[in-house]
Amino acid sequence: MTNKVKVLIADDLAPGAADIFKNRGIEVDFKVGLKKDELIKIIGEYDGLAVRSACKPDKDVIAAGTKLKVIGRAGIGVDNVDVKAATAKGVIVMNTPFGNAITTAEHAIAMMFSAARQIPSASQRTIAGEWPKKDYIGVELFAKTLGLIGAGNIGSIVADRALGLKMKVVAYDPFLTADRATQIGVEKVELDELLARADVITLHTPLTEQTKNILSAENIAKTKKGVILINCARGGLADEAAVRAGLESGHIGAAAFDVFLEEPAKTNVLFGAPNFIATPHLGASTVEAQDNVAFQVAEQMADYLLTGAVSNALNTPSVTAEEAPKLKPFVALAEKLGQFAGQVADGGLSEVEIEYEGAVAQLNRKPLTSAALAGMLRPFLAEVNMVSAPAILQERGGSLKESINEASPVYDSLIRIKVKVEGKWRSVAGAIVGGKPRIVEVKGMALEADFQPFMVFVNNSDKPGFIGAMAGLLGDGHVNIATFNLGREAAGGDAIAIVGVDQDVPAKTLEAIETLPQVRYVKVLKF
Catalytic site positions: 234, 263, 281
Of residues 69, 8, 466, 501, the one with CA closest to residue 304: 69
List % helix, strand, coil for the chain (3-state, nearest 5): 35, 25, 40
DSSP-derived secondary structure for 329-347 = HHHHHHHHHHHHHHHHHTT
Residues 17, 32: Cα–Cα separation, whole Å = 14
Give, for 119, the enclosing helix (H) or strand (E): helix 119-127
Q: Where are any strands of DSSP class E within 333-475?
A: 351-358, 399-405, 413-421, 424-433, 436-442, 445-450, 454-461
Q: How many helices (H) and strands (E) does the chain have?
A: 17, 22
Beta bridge partners of 437: 432
Query: Cα separations (Å) of 290 from 14, 93, 96?
Result: 7, 19, 11
DSSP-derived secondary structure for 43-82 = GGG-SEEEE-SSS---HHHHHH-TT--EEEESSS--TTS-
Angle at 83 between CA 79 and CA 87, to 5 degrees: 175
> Are the beta carbons of 514 and 522 closer than 8 angstroms?
yes
* Burial degree of 27 (CB within 10 A; 0-12, 13-18, 19+): middle
| CB hemisphere CA count around 102 (13 angstroms) | 8
Strands 494-501 and 454-461: antiparallel
Q: How many CB atoms lie within 10 A of CB 164?
A: 9
The packing angle between helices 153-164 and 101-117, to 10°, is 50
Report whether the peptide linkage leading into residue 264 is cis, meaning its omega lies within 30 degrees of zero: yes
